[in-house]
């Protein structure tokens, strides 16, 4: 064995020991994360992290390696914090709204053994997922009557998340009022804009004024607090018991097959599923859309849907959400990318609904 081979063998031995110690260090963080969770402590402790760096710098005897070792330390501390966040997020599922919102009910059904965490809006759920505060998010994406939820599609493009699975939930809207209220009393109807759209004809039959509210459960809560017979909310029947309201009318949605598609989003990409989704922008040239559709067909793939959405910050430009049946391998994906301007893969996912759990 020559001198180079001996040096490399020594480095290999050191690397093995480094890997063993690194793994031991990361596993010890499980106890740290558990303690922080139990005592309500933040993951990041800047003063302690700086103290660790300064203390450990002193263990380096050769000044030539001190700065590079500090960079290694800071990177390792950053990785440690990320791992703690992931540990604390495990078993937590985020949704937008409050108890009684459809998102809450779907999250409870899909993740009955998880801790559910409420957020004020859809984007906060996405941000919490990216920040590793939750393991999954449950978000409404599309309704058979009112179409896509545009802000969710925007967030899918904006944030580094993937679709884990899709759940189709049958939606039955009810009109909820306080004790003693009748249909003839109602002058104002509060609910999420999508719920108002789904029940437009019924609201018109009451000669009532629709008022958009952040979500259906908040609308029910508001009506309960107002104690006003002229005000009613549209939402799930479960909200009647939650907020001490009466069901004045049931199944008021226009479409008897009213269904909302919910997405389960995560930080990890599935490689296989019933469908594959991606967001794309097209090159600014004649026939750009046709080229993309043609390439999908050339790869023997079946496109289930394509939806357009204005591209924020780019007036009169659009991005497209494309769903493809089955899985898309890397070769086919590269071929599709070659005829697009930009692409964002949302991954493969399973399709589920109430009657095929």
User: For residue 323, what pLDDT is reported?
Assistant: 96
CATH class of the structural domain 174-250: alpha beta
Annotated binding site for substrate: which residue ranges? 8, 25, 36, 45, 49, 80, 84
User: For residue 287, what pLDDT is reported?
Assistant: 87
DSSP class of residue 354 equals G
Task: Supply φ then ψ for residue 161, to 5 degrees.
Answer: -130, 170
Angle formed at CA 161 by CA 131 and CA 330, multiple of 5 degrees = 140
User: For residue 355, what pLDDT is reported?
Assistant: 57
Tokens 């009910």: give the residue. Answer: 105
The CA distance from 326 to 304, in Å, is: 10
> Which is nearest to 154 in space by CA: 318, 277, 275, 342?
318
Annotated binding site: which residue ranges? 8, 25, 36, 45, 49, 80, 84
Could you list the mean pLDDT of each consecutive 10-residue stretch along the chain, which spans 357 residues? 89 93 91 83 86 89 91 90 82 92 92 91 96 94 88 95 95 94 96 91 96 93 96 94 95 88 94 92 86 93 93 89 93 93 94 68
Burial of 234 (0-12, 13-18, 19+ CB in 10 A): buried
CATH 3.30.70.870: does it fit domain 91-170+262-268?
A: no
Beta carbons of 340 and 292 less than 8 angstroms apart = yes
CATH 3.30.70.260: does it fit domain 270-352?
A: yes
Domain 3-89: give its CATH code: 1.20.59.10
Domain locations along the chain: 3-89, 91-170+262-268, 174-250, 270-352
pLDDT tens by residue, 131-169: 999 999 999 999 888 888 999 999 999 999 999 999 999
The CA distance from 186 to 260, in Å, is: 27
User: For residue 356, what pLDDT is reported?
Assistant: 42
Q: In the chain, pLDDT over 70 holds for what percent of residues?
A: 99
Domains 174-250 and 270-352 share a fold: no
Tokens of 170: 């049958």
Q: What do you get for the CA distance between the two ends of the chain, in Å?
A: 62
What residues pair up with 176 in beta bridges, in sequence order? 233, 247
The CA distance from 179 to 133, in Å, is: 40
CA distances from 131 to 43, 136, 342 (A): 12, 12, 25
């Amino acid at each position: 064995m020559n001198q180079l081979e001996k040096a490399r063998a020594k480095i290999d031995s050191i690397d093995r020991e480094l890997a063993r110690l690194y793994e031991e260090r990361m596993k010890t963080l499980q106890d740290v994360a558990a303690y922080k969770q139990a005592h309500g402590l933040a993951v990041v402790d800047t003063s302690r992290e700086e103290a660790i760096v300064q203390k450990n710098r002193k263990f380096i005897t050769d000044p030539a390696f001190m700065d590079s070792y500090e960079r290694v330390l800071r990177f390792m501390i950053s990785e440690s914090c990320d791992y703690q966040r992931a540990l604390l997020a495990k078993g937590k599922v985020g949704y937008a709204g409050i108890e009684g919102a459809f998102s809450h009910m779907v999250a409870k059904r899909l993740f009955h053994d998880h801790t559910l965490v409420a957020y004020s809006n859809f984007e906060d759920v996405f941000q919490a997922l990216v920040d590793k505060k939750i393991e999954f998010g449950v978000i409404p994406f599309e309704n058979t009557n009112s179409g896509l939820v545009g802000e969710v599609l925007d967030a899918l493009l904006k944030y580094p998340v993937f679709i884990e699975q899709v759940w189709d939930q049958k939606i039955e809207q009810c009109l909820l009022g306080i004790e003693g209220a009748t249909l003839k009393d109602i002058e104002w109807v509060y609910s999420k804009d999508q719920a108002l759209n789904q029940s437009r004809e019924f609201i018109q039959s009451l000669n009532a004024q629709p008022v958009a509210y952040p979500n259906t459960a908040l609308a029910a809560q508001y009506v309960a607090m107002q104690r006003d017979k002229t005000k009613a909310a549209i939402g799930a029947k479960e909200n009647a018991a939650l907020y001490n309201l009466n069901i004045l009318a049931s199944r008021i949605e226009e479409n008897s097959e009213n269904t909302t598609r919910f997405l389960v989003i995560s930080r990890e990409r599935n490689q296989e599923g019933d469908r594959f989704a991606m967001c794309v922008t097209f090159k600014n040239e004649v026939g750009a859309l046709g080229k993309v559709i043609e390439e999908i067909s050339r790869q023997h793939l079946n496109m289930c849907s394509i939806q357009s959405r204005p591209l924020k910050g780019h007036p009169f430009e659009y991005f497209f959400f494309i769903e493809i049946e089955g899985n898309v391998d890397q070769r086919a994906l590269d071929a599709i990318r070659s005829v697009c301007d930009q692409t964002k893969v949302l991954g493969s996912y399973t399709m589920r609904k109430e009657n095929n759990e």
